[in-house]
Chain A
Amino acid sequence: LAKTTQPVSMDSYEGQEVNITCSHNNIATNDYITWYQQFPSQGPRFIIQGYKTKVTNEVASLFIPADRKSSTLSLPRVSLSDTAVYYCLVENYGQNFVFGPGTRLSVLP
């Protein structure tokens, strides 16, 4: 079972770029890396998914090194509305869909 490790919390200011790194040392060949965002009183929401190298969408970028033992979610120019908990998930082939404790991001004015 691939286990993920993320910082418990991070602070940033509006307009800054935020990078959240997740460690997943036991990632398997078939595993994808997925990030979710959760606001209070809501279910998590998909942000981005990748397998290797770099993936970019309209919301974020995901950087995955060649060994795939970690990944970094990059949020460009954060705003107050980006304050949320961010979860890194490594999907295990045919196994449980287990979330780690997440990173609580606070964006300050």
Chain B
Amino acid sequence: GAGVSQSPSNKVTEKGKDVELRCDPISGHTALYWYRQSLGQGLEFLIYFQGNSAPDKSGLPSDRFSAERTGGSVSTLTIQRTQQEDSAVYLCASSLSLTGRDTEAFFGQGTRLTVV
């Protein structure tokens, strides 16, 4: 596709359930990023990938959060035992590179997660 695609666009889940969010980056983009944005708040950085590798996972809010990327393409963000405070829009972005001039990030439309 032409842009970053995220699925599902909306997800309502019960507290305690696991959810999996998917991100399809732009083809050829080696860098991929996950963010979370609560209503009216700024972007909270979660994790980035260079290829399939995530060098620093310290931005993940808790050990209930995990992310992986396979084949240098699709990434999934998994939240286990969801809590109400996990409710937010989860945004994925990709860029050609992590450094230099090719760092323009293209964002998806996000997944709106609501934990009830």
- Which residues on A are within 8 Å of B, measured CB to CB? 30, 32, 34, 36, 42-46, 49, 85, 87, 91, 93-102
Contacts and interface: CB of A to CB of B under 8 A. Distances in A.
B48 A97 contact: yes
Contact of A99 (B45, B48, B98, B101): B45
Contact of A97 (B4, B33, B100): B33
Contacts of B103: 32, 34, 49, 91, 97
B108 interface: yes
A49 B108 contact: no
A91 B101 CA distance: 10
Closest 8 CB pairs of A and B: A43-B107, A99-B43, A101-B42, A46-B104, A98-B45, A91-B103, A43-B91, A97-B33
Given A43-B93, A44-B43, A101-B42, A96 B104 contact: no
A30 B99 contact: yes
Contacts of B99: 30, 91, 93-94
Interface of B: 4, 31, 33, 35, 42-43, 45, 48, 56, 59, 91, 93, 98-101, 103-110
B7 to A, nearest CB: 14
Contact of B106 (A34, A42, A46, A93): A46
Contacts of A96: 45, 48, 56, 59
B110 A43 contact: yes
Contact of A44 (B59, B98, B100, B105): B105
Nearest to B58: A96
A32 to B, nearest CB: 6
A35 to B, nearest CB: 11
Given A34-B104, A43-B108, A97-B31, 6 more contacts: A34-B103, A36-B105, A49-B104, A85-B42, A97-B48, A99-B43
Contacts of B31: 97
Contact of B43 (A34, A87, A91, A95): A87
